Amino acid sequence: MFTKFKQNNIIYQGVVTRLNNNNIRKVKAMAVKIFIDAGHGGTNPGAVGNGVIESEVNLSVATQLAQDLRDMGYDVREYRTTNDENVISPVAADLRKRAAEANNWGADYFISIHTNSSTNPAANGFETYVYNLNSTSARLAESIQRSVIASLGMKDNGVRQANFSVLRNTAMPAVLVELGYLSNPTEAMNLNSSAWRTKIAAAIAEGINNFIKG
Ligand SMILES: [Zn+2]
């Protein structure tokens, strides 16, 4: 029997191995494992707009998200904690490596952090991508979407389907968030601010936690 419970602020999930005399469930305790993928890095900056660099925004928000999730009791692994760490060329191989690391670790959830750009400077808002809209990934994405929109008041671009490598090649529920548009002057300014980054990371963590506790 599979179970999920919270004790001393740590969320455990696993298979019940026995019941003791008090009928208290004993599980093979294992904190939920979340893999955080800060998009781009190395020689690949991703999008650049209004003087703000995507790979740097992604890393900053991903680092704070990882810390927030650890504070909530989750077991978190980060693909990169510096600009260059772990990043290889070409990009296609790098993307496959990100998914493979999460698969090999046995992650329960995969969260990829990206920042958007458009040729239209008016484009704005927060959106999440999943491989299949009829999936656990999509329900996780909806929870993140709700939390971020409520906390930051951004335009809700919703949950969208995309055939992205990291979403296709991961074996667990996987979501790719787009934090906003660097091509939009207001959103670029927000994404360049440490207060905004802290707030959006906290909102993403809350959305993940709400879904897992659900
Ligand atoms: Zn990106």
- Per-domain residue ranges for the chain? 1-30, 32-213
- pTM > 0.75: yes
pLDDT of residue 173: 98
pLDDT of residue 14: 66
Catalytic, out of 56, 78, 127, 178: 178
Homologous superfamily (CATH) of 32-213 is Zn-dependent exopeptidases (3.40.630.40)
The structure tokens 């360049």 sit at 192
Please identify every stretch of the chain with a pLDDT value under 50, giving residue numbers as ranges.
Answer: 23
**How many angstroms does the Cα of residue 46 sit away from the middle of ligand 1?**
5
- Which pLDDT does position 74 carry in this prediction? 96
pLDDT at 8: 62
38 to 55, 62, 96, 164, 165: CA distances (angstroms): 7, 6, 14, 15, 14
- Note if 178 is an active site residue: yes
Name 13's Cβ contacts closer than 8 Å, sequence gap at least 6. 2, 3, 4, 27, 30, 32, 108
pLDDT in tens, 91-135: 999 999 999 999 999 999 999 999 999 999 999 999 999 999 999
pLDDT score at 30 = 79
* Residue 7 CA to ligand 1 centre (angstroms): 36
